[in-house]
Structure 1
Amino acid sequence: MKLTNNTIFITGGGSGIGRALAEALHQRGNKVIIAGRRAGHLDTVTAANPGMESVVLDVSDPKDIARVTAELIQRFPDLNVLINNAGIMQFDNAASSVDGTMLIDTISTNLYGPIRVTSGLIEHLKTRPDAVIINVSSVLGFVPMAVTAVYCATKAAIHSYTLSQRYTLRDTSVRVLELAPPWVQTELLDSSEEPRAMPLAEFIEETMAVLATDADEILVERAKPLRAVPGPDEFAFVTQFNDALNAG
């Protein structure tokens, strides 16, 4: 991925991995627009990074997505990179009755949200050179943590959707990447001080180095053992499978 002179929209950019990615890309001379539900968090980030812009967006709300994506295309016609990062993670119990509110909130934010945001921007992205979609999944999409079963299922779904999206966009100007973080020290599940989690700065440094390559999957070293369980050459099989179907 080209790491300079892009116009980049990042959901969930008010904190955690989203904020750190936004700041790293901003520092490299990109125009960065961040989005999130909490205006105060967005204002804090943009105040600390002059030139960065923000827009309030609830990715669980399809009407809000439609409004914001239309506004982005109008205000930022050079927009060529979308990073679907917004997500929520809550404990659950797959061996018990599911909490309906948690279920709907998690799926609406983690799965419907990225699909709808991409849908709102995809035709515009197809017109842009060096266009990139980055879907943020998780190593837990490959090896689930049972106490967050719904979250892990949404990340597995995002991985699957990304493979299909990469295949169907293979002959366009749009590249589709997947960023699968390991456990990182962020506010997610109060992990900011968790010694077993990867320091955020270290994660961002490694991630930026991999983004600069031609890799389709953005994996830091700590993520590779869990990703290796199903095999990193999965997309080659997906391509072969779909090509055979298309050939009849």
Structure 2
Amino acid sequence: MNIENNTILITGGATGIGFALAKHFLAANNNVIICGRRAEALLAAKQKLPKLQIRVADLNNVDQRNSLVEWTTGNFSNLNILVNNAGIEREFRVKDSSLADDFLNENEIETNLTAPIHLTFLLLPQLLKQREAAVVNVSSGLGFVPIAVMPIYCATKAAMQSFSKSLRYQLKETSVKVFDVAPPLVETELHEKVGAKSSQPKGILPEQVAKKTLQAIRKDNYEIAIGLARVLRIASKIAPSQMFKIINQNASGE
């Protein structure tokens, strides 16, 4: 797929992988719009990359998803790439007395699964009108092998991988391509969240994820497992129980 001269919407684009993707897409001569719920983070991103278009939107809110699509398609009629990157990860330990309330309050399924699927469906008519278009879903290597204390996050990422595969099949005769990006642990995000020890491999940088993602999109490599995520994908097929045990022992420091 051509990675130049596109108009791209990136959710959660103010920081981390989303910001790194925005930076690399801008460098490839694309028009890039980022959205997120925190205005200050979006403004900081725009200060670093003045060519960015920004929009405040809480994608957990259905009305704001609709408003984002209305604004985006109204102002950027040639929008042809959606990057579903926004996501959150939380620990849930089954012995915690507040477990049920924490689950309802965190909205992890809404953020990681419901919102990107709904946004994709809302924008599909727009994408299908374009000569070449794409949906890029950022999942995780933990969609292949879950970390036990992050059950909702891992389940939603596995679901997004399945969604991408099914969507790709249904759109195979159209102009819309569907990519799934499965990063490994990424520095400043997931690596710190799972409490990894210094003796464990450090997460890779968001810049590395962005660079490899653009390279893969250019080559039409639809399932993009990066770094350790490649190992997890293979191991999940040939030795799932053993890999699950290894990754969870490492995450818990056992």
CA contact (8 A) 1:2 1:212 kept: yes
| SS of alignment partner, residue 3 of structure 1 | coil
Identity of aligned residues (%): 39
Paired residues for 1:192-207 under 5 Å: 196-207=202-213
CA contact (8 A) 2:79 2:127 kept: yes
TM superposition shift of 1:109: 0.3
Alignment of 1:223 onto 2:229:
yes
Relative distance call for 1:231 and 1:169 in structure 2 (3 A) is farther
User: For each residue in 1:36-61, what CA deviation from the matched residue of structure 2 results, as whole angstroms up to 9, or x when unmatched?
Assistant: 00001001111211221011111111
- 1:121 corresponds to which of 103, 120, 123: 123
CA distance, structure 1, for counterparts of residue 16 and residue 190 of structure 2: 8
CA contact (8 A) 1:90 1:102 kept: no
CA distance, structure 2, for counterparts of residue 112 and residue 79 of structure 1: 22
* 2:165 counterpart residue number: 163
CA contact (8 A) 1:106 1:150 kept: yes
Alignment of 1:51 onto 2:57:
no
Which runs of 5 or more residues in structure 2 are unaligned? 239-254
TM-score normalised by L of structure 2: 0.85
CA distance, structure 1, for counterparts of residue 213 and residue 186 of structure 2: 12
Which runs of 5 or more residues in structure 1 are unaligned? 233-248
Relative distance call for 1:187 and 1:230 in structure 2 (3 A) is closer
CA distance, structure 2, for counterparts of residue 163 and residue 54 of structure 1: 30
* 2:155 counterpart residue number: 153
CA contact (8 A) 1:89 1:189 kept: no
| SS of alignment partner, residue 77 of structure 2 | coil
CA distance, structure 2, for counterparts of residue 96 and residue 48 of structure 1: 41
CA distance, structure 2, for counterparts of residue 172 and residue 209 of structure 1: 22
| SS of alignment partner, residue 99 of structure 1 | helix
CA distance, structure 2, for counterparts of residue 204 and residue 221 of structure 1: 12
CA distance, structure 1, for counterparts of residue 101 and residue 174 of structure 2: 39
TM-score normalised by L of structure 1: 0.87
* 1:24 counterpart residue number: 24
Deviates more, 1:45-54 or 1:180-189: 180-189
Deviates more, 1:220-229 or 1:36-45: 220-229
- 1:210 corresponds to which of 210, 216, 222: 216
CA distance, structure 1, for counterparts of residue 182 and residue 77 of structure 2: 29
TM superposition shift of 1:188: 4.3
CA contact (8 A) 1:166 1:176 kept: yes
User: For each residue in 1:150-173, what CA deviation from the matched residue of structure 2 results, as whole angstroms up to 9, or x when unmatched?
Assistant: 110111111111111111111111
Q: Following TM superposition, where does structure 1 have runs of at least 4 consecutive aligned residues deviating by more than 4 angstroms? A: 94-97
TM superposition shift of 1:96: 5.7
Matched letter for residue 152 of structure 2: V
The alignment of Structure 1 onto Structure 2 pairs a total of residues equal to 231
Relative distance call for 1:27 and 1:174 in structure 2 (3 A) is same
Paired residues for 1:134-149 under 5 Å: 134-149=136-151
* 1:33 counterpart residue number: 33
* 2:65 counterpart residue number: 65
CA contact (8 A) 1:94 1:146 kept: no
User: For each residue in 1:182-208, what CA deviation from the matched residue of structure 2 results, as whole angstroms up to 9, or x when unmatched?
Assistant: 0011344646x9752112333333232
* 2:241 counterpart residue number: none
| SS of alignment partner, residue 214 of structure 1 | coil
CA distance, structure 2, for counterparts of residue 178 and residue 76 of structure 1: 24
